[in-house]
Structures are given as structure tokens and as C-alpha cells.
Structure 1
């Protein structure tokens, strides 16, 4: 849309209270980058919880197997 109507980005930027269209692009890029970083953070947290749960389960299972083999 910006390539067809070059003034569209300037009008959109003015609507958001910015001076130039490139400023709007930079602001949206920064917001998008922060959003992606937040989503990655959530994924990493989920993976860490899964690993912790798996290790706990394996440790309990190993302890039970050791108790059975000692009897």
C-alpha cells in the first residue's frame, strides 16, 4: 500500500501522532521485536518447566526401581 500511495505512511504516522512514516515503521518494528522476545521467553519457561517435571519423574521412578531391586 505504501508503494502505491507514498503519502499513506505519512498519513498513518500522523494518525498515531508521529512525524514521518519511517518513524511509524520503526516503532512498529520495535514493538514487534519485543513481542517476539516475550513469546520466546514464554516458550523457554515452558521448556524449563517440562524438563524439571521430567527430571523429577525420572528421579522418582529410579528411586522406586532401586527400592524394588533391593528387596
Structure 2
């Protein structure tokens, strides 16, 4: 098994990203589910960085593609779509929460206005 300089760079980058993600979790800026998601992705990238040719050939055989590098691109694109979908779900959930909070605030403000009007009438 030949080891290329780009593999060392990839391993160093993945390990640095792991430390970054763990640091974010330690500072409570990342939830457990998100930590688990990123650790799984980064461990996968680490394994691909260590054994790129073997993994590319295995995926190539499983997917029936012509070249090993094509298989890595197909898997990378699939993972990118999964991450985009995860971000979409988070944004959608946040928008729903904002809408609900806005409604609650509007209702409470209306109740406060009504109470103030009643107080002014009594005075």
C-alpha cells in the first residue's frame, strides 16, 4: 500500500476537524445528535483518507461503476445531499418555531393592550 502526501494532509485536516467538533461540543455549542453525526462523517472521511484505493474499488464493485474515483464522487455527492437535507430540516424547524413565538407574542401584546384599556377606563 503506497501512501501519498495528500493522504497525510487529509488525515491531518480530518483530525483537526474532529478536535474542532469536539471543542464545540465541549462548549455546549453542539448537541449530542449533531456531534454523533459529525463524528460518523469524519471517521468515514478518515477511513477513506487512510485506505482510498481499497474503499474506492469496493464501492466501485458494489455500485457497478467503471472507475474507483467515480464511486468516491458518487458517495461524496450523496453525503453532501444528506447534509444539505439536514440543514434544510433545521432551518424549517427554526422557521416554524419563530412563527409560533411570533403568534404567542402577538396574542400576549393584544391581551396587554386590552388590560391597559380596561385600567384607563376605570381611572
Shorter-chain TM-score range: 0.7 to 0.9
Larger RCO (CA within 8 A; separation ≥ 6): 2
Deviations 1:1-41 (A, max 9, x none): 525xx455324312220111111100001000111111111
Q: Point out 4+ residue stretches in structure 1 off by more than 6 angstroms.
A: none
Corresponding pairs, count:
69
1:18 aligns with 2:53: no
Unpaired runs of at least 5, structure 1 = none
Unpaired runs of at least 5, structure 2 = 1-49, 119-123
- RMSD of the TM alignment (CA)? 1.6
TM-score scaled by length of structure 2: 0.51
